[in-house]
């Protein structure tokens, strides 16, 4: 099964992807993780991606697609994958469809998460994450704080706050998301694979509730 996670920053994509991954036994993979892995291992694609990122430039589609192509060929994703952060544009979505077709696969579900902007800002401002890159569990000081202050419940590593988790940056990221990525909603809607879910405290519907509903739908 191939699942795509769509949604602005702070809508709960990471939490839902993790829950789905644990229950469906397929990896949840973020584009950022793939880039970091290639850069750390100094692959040719990693060096190429780094040459753009070090200048603050966006990595070109063809480089990103090549990195995704390599990831799709790895053994652990042969039974399925949950992609978070790719595709970001319709052009990338079309390229992904081609990559999957070559492997006799397709996007089975595109999960589109929506949350009111003010809620996103508050949520991200209260977000802390595990510093252990193998864990990366996310917490919210208001909604789901760790049992011990500053310590990850899962692995015991130190919890940190990302530098860009502040109101000004979050609002800019939300704006950029809707400009660049929202056309993907229409793309997957036309394909009949779109699943739009609201994640909001206002309606008492959090990420874990959405994940449970999606799992119920998949396991029918």
Q: How far apart are CA 7 and CA 16, in angstroms?
A: 11
To the query of whether residue 163 is one of the catalytic residues in this protein, the response is no
Single out the catalytic residue among 18, 71, 123, 127.
127
Single out the catalytic residue among 136, 171, 173, 205.
173
To the query of whether residue 173 is one of the catalytic residues in this protein, the response is yes
Single out the catalytic residue among 18, 71, 88, 123.
88
Single out the catalytic residue among 13, 18, 71, 123.
13
To the query of whether residue 36 is one of the catalytic residues in this protein, the response is no
To the query of whether residue 127 is one of the catalytic residues in this protein, the response is yes
What's the Cα-to-Cα distance from 195 to each of 79, 86, 207, 217, rounded to whole Å? 21, 16, 14, 11
DSSP letter (8 states) at residue 166: S
Single out the catalytic residue among 106, 142, 158, 162.
162
* For residue 167, cis peptide bond before it (omega within 30 degrees of 0): no
**Helices 90-102/183-191 angle, 10° precision:** 40
To the query of whether residue 13 is one of the catalytic residues in this protein, the response is yes
Residues serving a catalytic function are 13, 88, 127, 162, 173
């Amino acid at each position: 099964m191939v699942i795509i996670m769509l949604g602005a920053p702070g809508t709960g994509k990471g939490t839902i992807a993790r829950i789905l991954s644990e229950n469906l036994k397929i990896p949840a993979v973020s584009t950022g993780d793939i880039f970091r892995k290639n850069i750390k291992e100094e692959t040719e694609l990693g060096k190429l991606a780094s040459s753009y990122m070090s200048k603050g430039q966006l990595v070109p589609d063809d480089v990103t697609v090549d990195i995704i192509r390599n990831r799709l060929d790895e053994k652990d994703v042969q039974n399925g994958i949950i992609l978070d952060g790719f595709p970001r544009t319709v052009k990338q979505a079309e390229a992904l469809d081609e990559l999957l077709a070559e492997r006799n696969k397709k996007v089975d579900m595109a999960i589109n998460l929506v949350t009111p902007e003010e809620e996103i800002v508050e949520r991200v401002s209260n977000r802390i994450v595990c510093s252990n890159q193998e864990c990366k569990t996310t917490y919210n000081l208001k909604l789901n704080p760790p049992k011990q202050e500053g310590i990850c419940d899962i692995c015991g590593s130190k919890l940190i706050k990302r530098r860009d988790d502040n109101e000004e940056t979050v609002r800019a990221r939300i704006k950029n998301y809707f400009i660049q990525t929202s056309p993907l909603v229409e793309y997957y809607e036309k394909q009949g694979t779109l699943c739009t879910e609201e994640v909001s405290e206002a309606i008492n519907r959090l990420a874990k509730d959405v994940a449970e509903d999606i799992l119920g739908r998949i396991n029918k």
